[in-house]
A and B are shown apart, each in its own frame.
Chain A
């Protein structure tokens, strides 16, 4: 009877999944395959989108080879990684410090709700607008940042930040950092609140200090979420487009050109190299997939480790309590 019933309802499982499956197949799966295929064609120029053919077999990987050999693509990949790393390290560090402060059981800070709202706010504002706003804030010779730094005595003369590659990179990384540390902090705090409070209570009874609890309980139990944060941030970072594009259009000398900007420029400006842009997209896809799998494997292992560690601590504390 029961089996019969679940059998008769099973068709609704399929039925209710149909909209998702159909739309995903048409608007995500097919374009993915289409991009992969375009990488093996000669699609370029004004008519390149409708009129193209596959490359001959002996040069089927020509577009991929051209992209890999292209020094500008190499540079854009390097830029993208640099921009991400330089923002991620301070971002996760500050987020961890604030998490430790905001979840401290002995030293409760006031106004946490308001601080969370303010720290998170830049994350939700249109990235394109933020990038252009910062471009104007760093205006030369007179701009808000220049005049502020001069009145504080940090600068003697106005500095043109946007003509130096290191300062332009620094500012873009800073914008990323500034937009994301609040988000990361909120995720980490929710992770800490999910840790079994008995672990902390036991540690407190044993007279553990705040920093001991942070390193021995919080961090090991937070590893899963830390690595999840890292994966999502990395994928987002490798797809960076809006901020470098609107902050300084990849200038100076392509030093802030990211891979997504390279792909966009190949396909939608100059000679409309659609095939080459598709090949570059696929190369990025493979890089992102490999990097994610790599981190994910580490993540699964860390998860096991964190759990073992937590169990070990709990057992130790139980023993001590006895």
Chain B
């Protein structure tokens, strides 16, 4: 992209019109992406009456605190609890996924063992199985061991995520020089220590990418938490969103927009802070051949 051609390209009028068309379409698509969130942001600061009189407005108002009180009035939408639970689950799951997927990938890359081939084949085969398909059996199992209304069943399974292992393996094959591992062995380091102190730092870029996706995926998950968590003090942010859909907030538009804003705000912050890495990560994920 950085290479600039020396020859200036002359464009015909047709090509110029086409170029304008391209920019106009891209601009419209950008508006389409941003507009719904902009409405949400503005309306979160406006009163229900203002929203009903003029649903679309570009002017912020001063009803933010009022909306917040309405949102909290019924004590149903508890943003602090939702945030805390979502954060615990997402952070726990992310740490486990990133560490153990890298460890499993290391087992697949650094050692020769008999079942390595079949194990990798198994990971490829189950990579595409969606978790929701097995949800009933999972729920029954958790009910039996009394783990419903517990955050652990949403965190611990993150140790075994086939897709992340696959990604880590591909990255490791391409970028982990085995000579470094060999020389650590010569120096007498134990295998686990070699992994923790030498392999992990080399894998940092891949781990960062996977960490972002694991965190966001876990934060956004609705299906599993809504099956497992029925106690109000265990609700996650997406479950709080589904509460906004209930009757108590039916006509409290300002409060609903504010509730939505609170649920997506953390993701917005993460996204715009790390967008460069996220886009690069998506692109990397696409070329897994």
Contacts and interface: CB of A to CB of B under 8 A. Distances in A.
Chain A interface helix/strand/loop/mixed: helix
A281 interface: yes
Interface stretch (B34-42, B63-71, B72-80, B203-211): B34-42
A187 B289 CA distance: 13
Contact of A27 (B140, B160, B271): B160
B223 A33 contact: no
B100 A267 contact: no
A31 to B, nearest CB: 4
Chain B interface helix/strand/loop/mixed: helix
Contact of A17 (B33, B107, B244): B107
Contacts of B174: none
A18 B1 CA distance: 44
A7 B163 CA distance: 29
Contacts of A109: 22-23, 26
Nearest to B131: A28
B278 A120 contact: yes
Given A6-B112, A284-B133, A133 B40 contact: yes
B36 to A, nearest CB: 6
Interface stretch (A139-147, A212-220, A313-321): A139-147
A118 to B, nearest CB: 5
A157 interface: no
Contacts of A98: 26
B137 interface: yes
Contacts of A120: 275, 278-279, 282
A34 B141 contact: yes
A38 B136 contact: yes
A142 B49 CA distance: 11
A107 B140 contact: no
B263 A101 contact: no
Contact of A20 (B100, B128, B268, B288): B100
A35 B136 contact: yes
Of A21, A101, A127, A144, which is in contact with the most chain B CB atoms at under 10 Å from its CB?
A144
A13 B116 contact: yes
A36 B112 CA distance: 35
A200 interface: no
Contact of A281 (B22, B112, B133, B237): B133
Contact of B160 (A24, A43, A188): A24
A267 B241 contact: no
A239 interface: yes
Contact of A36 (B130, B137, B216, B288): B137
Contact of B136 (A15, A20, A241, A281): A281
Contact of B256 (A14, A132, A285): A132
Contact of B219 (A32, A126, A231): A126
B15 to A, nearest CB: 7
B55 A142 contact: yes
A13 B111 contact: yes
A186 B256 contact: no
A132 B26 CA distance: 26
Contact of A190 (B9, B33, B284): B284
A256 B174 CA distance: 45
Nearest to A184: B286
B248 interface: no
Contacts of A282: 133
B231 interface: no
B83 interface: no
Interface in B208-229: 216, 219-220, 222-223, 227
B139 interface: yes
B271 A126 contact: no
B202 interface: no
B282 A147 contact: no
Given A126-B219, A126-B263, A186-B286, A34 B140 contact: yes
26 contacts: A15-B107, A16-B111, A23-B160, A27-B156, A27-B160, A31-B137, A32-B133, A37-B137, A108-B1, A117-B279, A118-B34, A120-B275, A125-B267, A128-B242, A129-B241, A132-B241, A132-B245, A134-B36, A144-B39, A144-B56, A239-B133, A246-B241, A246-B242, A264-B227, A278-B137, A288-B133
Given A178-B33, A281-B132, 20 more contacts: A16-B106, A20-B104, A21-B160, A23-B156, A24-B162, A31-B134, A33-B137, A108-B1, A124-B216, A125-B267, A132-B256, A137-B39, A189-B283, A194-B287, A242-B238, A246-B242, A264-B227, A274-B140, A278-B137, A281-B133
The 6 closest A-B pairs by CB, nearest first: A187-B286, A35-B137, A34-B137, A13-B111, A13-B113, A190-B283
